[in-house]
Amino acid sequence: MWKEIFENVRNQTPLIHNITNYVTVNDCANILLACGASPIMADDETEVAEITSICSGLHINIGTLNRRTIASMISAGKQSNALNHPVVLDPVGAGASRLRTDTAMQLLQNIRFSVIRGNISEIKVLALGTGSTNGVDAGAADHITEYCLDETVAFAKEFAHKTGAVIAITGAIDIVADSQTAYCIRNGHPMMSSVTGTGCQLSSLTSAFVAANPEQVTTATAAAVCAMGYAGEIAYARLSSLDGNSTYRNYIIDAIYRMTPQMLEEGAKYEVR
């Protein structure tokens, strides 16, 4: 299953429009190139609708939010919806400030998202309309563990039903859910949290996987999450005693570049609930 999904990305080379944050924009571009897709970064309101029209998918990320780009996000999102292109939302830091929370809710009201990907604290803010996060990280009380896994799966399915989007909640255990089915994914390594932007890269990667597999949004999202986590495992195994988080970041991108569809098929660790 994962093999076919990844093969479609490699074969179709989807062009992905990213309205993303300036902290990780370069890494998002490189992860897209590594998986076989092609990136374009454009956030001026006067061109975003035109740019997104020539792309296969749109990734909206509010990590370094400013008022200038909010209108751009809505314009590009509406154009993508009109063209039936998949749109992925990464609500980075929703709950950390009123601007971020209000903007995330405004985006949900104006755009039909194919996938919403965030940590559990961010997703709870979107689902409840209020809450807080620890900056751009999940709060300590919100970590996904085996103890609360069933409850979190039920929450993700309910929010997926409410929004019509696939919900991807990433953490120690990743959950990808639509209203009926949830994938619980155990790929990844704790060191991934020491690299700024692995979540942003995953959202870009997800956009490519979904754009190449528009009829299989849930499984394509799960495949992207597995691929990113597996890349984290491969990258960690390469580290020497002299390497740190900067090298690790590069090794993650290298791992996606070198990963084959067959490797992903064999390396994915998940269960369905």
- Kindly report the average pLDDT of the chain as a whole number: 94
Amino acid 142: pLDDT: 55
- Give me the residues of the chain with pLDDT under 70, please: 130-142
Query: For residues 73 and 152, what is the distance between their CA atoms, to the nearest angstrom?
Result: 29
Amino acid 136: pLDDT: 47
Report all structural domains of the chain as residue ranges with CATH numbers, in order of start: 2-272 (3.40.1190.20)
State residue 41 phi and psi, 5-degree precision: -115, 115
**What confidence tens digit (pLDDT) does each residue in 33-74 have?**
999 999 999 999 999 999 999 999 999 999 999 999 999 999
Query: For residues 57 and 75, what is the distance between their CA atoms, to the nearest angstrom?
Result: 14
Amino acid 129: pLDDT: 80
For the entire predicted model, the pTM comes to 0.94
Amino acid 244: pLDDT: 96
Amino acid 132: pLDDT: 54
Amino acid 140: pLDDT: 44
**Per DSSP, what are the bridge partners of residue 167?**
116, 177
